[in-house]
Structure 1
Amino acid sequence: MSQSQVSARWDAEYRSGRYAGEPPLPFVDEIRATLHASSVAERRGLYIGCGNGRNYLPLVRSGLRLYGLDLSSVALHQLAAREPALSMRLICADFRTFVSRCRFSYVIAIQVFQHGAAADVAKYFAGVGSLLSPGGLFFLRANAASTHVRRPHTVIERNDFGGFTVRYESGPKQGLPVHFYARDELQALAPDDFALVAEPREAVTARTPPETGHWVQWEAIWKRPEA
């Protein structure tokens, strides 16, 4: 599926009310606290996959100088309508092909690095490595391999760590590849000079009945050493 087709799919999701009225994830509080206790809070950061602001806005409203990037122009228009003053900080792009002339002191990716197959996953982590300044922090939340994948799907990739990629056969992500990470895979993908600040932990969410099983996400924080 081409980049324009993926963008159009997400545009349709946001037009239909995706994330409207949903509260921010608890991980946002940890990100905010970690940044405000660090030396980089007043510097420039990048939120990858900011959408229409569910998790992005609470961080910006806490005083962070945070830029938002998303491939959905509809999501960014919705976000700018909520906070017009932020429009100059919003970037419409696919992170896999995003090129920046500057580096960032912190990078946040919440539930976005799971979209795509193994080749896309590698691009995500390499992209963070190229953008994060020395001493910078990287915050990640992404699918865990222990998730009970409920919707009809086909497993299209598996790796030696235990991670895998599925292609959904129904639902809003029909036809799209989605990756589920194993724990050791995360550390293998992180750039060599990244050190863990918060070890990967699984955030478990029970599915709403009548659905059964759990949706599981890794949450982790890395730091690039000072030069």
Structure 2
Amino acid sequence: MDAHRIAVTFWDDAYAEGMYADAEPDAFVARILEAAPPGASGVEIGCGNGRNLIPLRRGGLDLLGVDPSRIALEQLALRAPGVPSVHGTQDDLPAGRRYELVVGIQVHQHGTRAAARDMLRGSLERVAPGGLFALRTASAATEAVEAHEVLDEHADGGRTFRYLEGFKAGLVVHYYGRTELEAMLAGFEPVLPLRAEYSPRLDPPAGRWAHWETIVRRPR
């Protein structure tokens, strides 16, 4: 079974077991609503069951959701009937289509370094001239407390783990370094400058989550 199928099975099972069923939207949603023009149209990559997509749409944004988990999209349809969605990845969106707003919240870290970076490049390519890209993704400052193997570490600060136990057992996750992410976002104009966000883990074992947040604009 390839890595993509492993990941899809993981998320299908997780959503079926109630993941994000009662979760509040990420705080990053409010920052996106502050930065995006009212009524902006676009897409959320990895929308899941709508935890962030629904409040973004209620905030006035005309967003399409994309997710590879059929279970997540079934839950989205129950929570918010009529919200447009695509079952798949951003590669299943119309070729060449660009958007006023592309959102990625904790999705561009999934997979190997090469796969995660390819996903990020693909999302950046979908931003229209003058459009915004809103990104929240895993930081290499995260404390990986579950058993894992390190697949790679680079001079730009990025590192990749395969988890061996815990909630993410079997998943490969890439954690971006600041230098790495700044290089990938070069050519875009900062609207919300790249910033580090830290939060304690609420579930055992103890540790600290670290994420990067930024909103950038493609020059016209």
Deviation at 1:170, TM superposition (A): 1.1
Structure 2 Cα separation of the partners of residues 99 and 21 of structure 1: 29
With normalisation by structure 1, the TM-score equals 0.91
In the TM superposition, residue 103 of structure 1 has moved relative to its aligned partner by 1.3
Counterpart code for 2:5: S
Look up the match of 1:22: 23
Residues 165-186 of structure 1 deviation map (CA, whole Å, 9 limit, x = unaligned):
0000012322221011111111
Amino acid at match of 2:10: R
Aligned to 1:48: 45
Partner secondary structure for residue 130 of structure 2: strand
User: Structure 2: any 5+ residue segments left out of the alignment?
Assistant: none
Look up the SS of the partner of 1:120 in the other structure.
Answer: helix
1:178 alignment counterpart: 173
The answer for the alignment partner of 2:209 in structure 1 is: 215
Q: Which residue of 1 aligns with 2:159?
A: 164
Aligned residues: 218
Shift of 1:84: 1.1
1:72 aligns with 2:73: no
Q: TM-score, normalised by structure 2?
A: 0.93
Q: Distance in 1 between matches of 2:7 and 2:17?
A: 16
What letter is aligned with 1:105? Answer: E
Structure 2 partner of 1:225:
219
Q: Which residue of 2 aligns with 1:9?
A: 10
Matched letter for residue 187 of structure 2: D
1:99 Cα offset (Å): 4.2
Query: Aligned equivalents of 2:52 and 2:203: distance in 1?
Result: 25
Q: Which runs of 5+ in 1 are unaligned?
A: none
Decide which of 144, 148, 151 is 1:149's aligned counterpart.
Answer: 144
Aligned to 2:85: 90
Q: Deviations over 1:143-167 (max 9, x none)?
A: 1111111111011011111110000
State the distance in 2 between where 1:221 and 1:119 align. Answer: 22
Instruction: Give runs of aligned pairs for residues 121-132 of structure 1, distance below 5 A.
Output: 121-132=116-127
